[in-house]
């Protein structure tokens, strides 16, 4: 069985995957391709193995999660709660660190800034951080590359230390290790540099106030931990603590195509930019992880791969779960904190817990009723 396909996403995928030399050919053949895909779409949607998620399947997934130190699990579909479960000290009101899941909120803030005209995604960073203009590599880096972590800047996990007085200054001095756009290096450096760029674009106004006013407050989220340094710079790579219900609001925003409960936080056309992978890592967009290489990709444990030296990690032909729809996007935090969002199923799945050996693919197969 196959999954529903959104033609707009397919059209974008075709364009993204085609080099400049083939653009004319793609445009010429678009009508024929989309006509064929339209037929396939009708067939696929009529025979899809997925439909209504079942509480019984979620219960099996919850049992697995609980055995791996899971503390909370929430499943929503079509705006309704399908399943809710807490264990190992978790509760509906208990906030829990989402670690790198924090990045996705900053990704939405970046898109909001684009919408307001503060910058464009493909603007050179050096237009704002002028110290980079004389560097042959750094002068080429774009804002998009900061957000999808392909800028070639060292990852610099040490930026997360509380003892650092000025994270922004430290981040912009970090070296490049390759040509921008050629490699994917995961780490806090990229968003820290973006934080400095945003600060300058805001002409010194508080970047945390910007995120609150344009994203978190609109989602009804308060009392967020920004882990500020001595200069007041937030740490965008991590820090937020949320209940499962609170984190699910970000999923509702994505399912609403940038609209949350009647409020358009980000235009739908702009939000789609967050779900386009790069050549260096097709499984990572703008602060969101992607499953777009399913069902033919090799399943990978993203957290374990991120522990590898960047030179040893292989990101091509990798997916999160072969049996989950290819349009699934994920906000991912260490210790297997997960916000799975599946637009084709209008589904949101939250999983939180302590660090333990855990399989995203196995968990998702259980939730989706695909066995284990």
Contact in structure between 334 and 301 (CB atoms under 8 Å) = no
Phi, psi of 18, rounded to the nearest 5 degrees: -110, 135
pLDDT attached to residue 29:
40
Contact in structure between 193 and 169 (CB atoms under 8 Å) = no
Section 161-179 average pLDDT: 97
State yes or no: pLDDT of 35 exceeds 70.
no
Cα-Cα-Cα-Cα torsion 25, 27, 29, 32, nearest 10 degrees, comes to: 170
Q: Which two tokens stand for residue 116?
A: 């307001």
d(CA 336, CA 136): 38
Section 165-190 average pLDDT: 98
Contact in structure between 283 and 294 (CB atoms under 8 Å) = no
Query: How many whole angstroms from its chain centre is CA 12?
Result: 18
pLDDT attached to residue 371:
73
Task: Give the global pTM.
Answer: 0.86
Q: Buried b / exposed e across 195-222, counting CB within 10 Å, b at 16+?
A: bbbbbebeeeeebbebbbebbbebbebe
d(CA 213, CA 129): 24
State yes or no: pLDDT of 132 exceeds 90.
yes
Select the more confidently predicted residue: 46 or 244: 244
Q: Which two tokens stand for residue 15?
A: 């364009």
Q: Which two tokens stand for residue 23?
A: 């653009």
- Please report, for the chain, the start and end positions of each structural domain, with discontinuous segments joined by +: 7-47, 55-367
Residue 247: helix, strand or coil by DSSP? Answer: helix
DSSP string, 185-241: --SSHHHHHHHHHHHHHTTT--HHHHHIIIIITTTT--S------TT----TTS--E
- Tell me what the pLDDT averaged over the chain comes to: 89
- Percentage of the residues of the chain whose pLDDT score is greater than 90: 82
The CATH number for 55-367, chosen from 3.40.710.10, 3.40.50.720, 3.30.70.1230, 3.10.129.10, is 3.40.710.10
pLDDT attached to residue 49:
52
Section 27-40 average pLDDT: 36
Which pairs with CB-CB distance under 8 Å and at least 24 residues apart come from 340-344? 340/251, 340/364, 341/251, 341/254, 341/255, 343/6, 343/254, 343/255, 344/3, 344/4, 344/5, 344/6, 344/50
pLDDT attached to residue 50:
59
Residue-wise pLDDT tens digits, 301-328? 998 999 899 989 889 999 999 999 999 9
The burial of 259, by beta-carbon neighbours within 10 Å (0-12 exposed, 13-18 middle, 19 or more buried), is given as: middle
Contact in structure between 324 and 345 (CB atoms under 8 Å) = no
Residue-wise pLDDT tens digits, 39-94? 334 323 323 355 899 999 999 999 999 999 999 999 999 999 999 999 999 999 99
Cis peptide before 213 (omega within 30 of 0): no
Contact in structure between 314 and 355 (CB atoms under 8 Å) = no
Q: Buried b / exposed e across 80-118, counting CB within 10 Å, b at 16+?
A: eebbbbbbeebeeeebbbbbbbbbbbbbbbbbbbbbeeb
């Amino acid at each position: 069985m196959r999954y529903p396909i959104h033609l707009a996403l397919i059209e974008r995928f075709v364009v993204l995957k085609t080099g400049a030399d083939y653009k004319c050919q793609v445009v010429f053949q678009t009508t024929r391709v989309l006509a064929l895909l339209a037929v396939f779409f009708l067939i696929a949607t009529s025979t899809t193995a997925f439909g209504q998620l079942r509480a019984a399947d979620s219960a099996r997934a919850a049992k697995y999660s609980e055995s791996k130190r899971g503390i909370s699990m929430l499943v929503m579909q079509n705006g309704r709660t399908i399943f809710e479960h807490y264990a190992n000290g978790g509760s509906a009101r208990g906030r829990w660190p989402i670690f790198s899941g924090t990045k996705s909120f900053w990704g939405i803030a970046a898109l909001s800034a684009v919408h307001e005209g503060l910058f464009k995604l493909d603007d050179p960073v050096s237009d704002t951080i002028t110290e980079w203009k004389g560097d042959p590599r750094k002068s080429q880096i774009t804002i998009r590359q900061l957000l999808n972590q392909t800028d070639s800047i060292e990852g610099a996990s040490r930026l997360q230390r509380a003892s650092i007085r000025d994270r922004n200054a430290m981040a912009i001095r970090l070296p490049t290790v390759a040509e921008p756009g050629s490699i994917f290096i995961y780490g806090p450096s990229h968003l820290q540099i973006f934080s400095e760029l945003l600060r300058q674009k805001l002409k010194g106004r508080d970047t945390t106030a910007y995120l609150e006013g344009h994203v978190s407050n609109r989602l009804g989220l308060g009392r967020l931990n920004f882990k500020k340094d001595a200069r007041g710079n937030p740490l965008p790579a991590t820090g937020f603590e949320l209940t499962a219900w609170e984190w699910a609001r970000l999923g509702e925003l994505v399912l609403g195509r940038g609209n949350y409960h009647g409020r358009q936080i980000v235009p739908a056309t702009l939000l789609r930019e967050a779900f386009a992978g790069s050549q260096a890592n097709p499984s990572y967009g703008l602060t969101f992880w992607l499953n777009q290489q399913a069902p033919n990709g090799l399943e990978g444990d993203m957290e374990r791969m991120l522990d590898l030296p960047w030179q040893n990690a292989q990101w091509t032909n990798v997916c999160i779960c072969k049996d989950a729809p290819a349009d699934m996007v994920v906000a991912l935090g260490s210790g297997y904190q997960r916000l799975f969002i599946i637009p084709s199923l209008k589904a949101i799945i939250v999983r939180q817990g302590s660090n333990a050996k855990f399989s995203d693919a196995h968990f998702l197969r259980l939730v989706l009723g695909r066995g284990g």
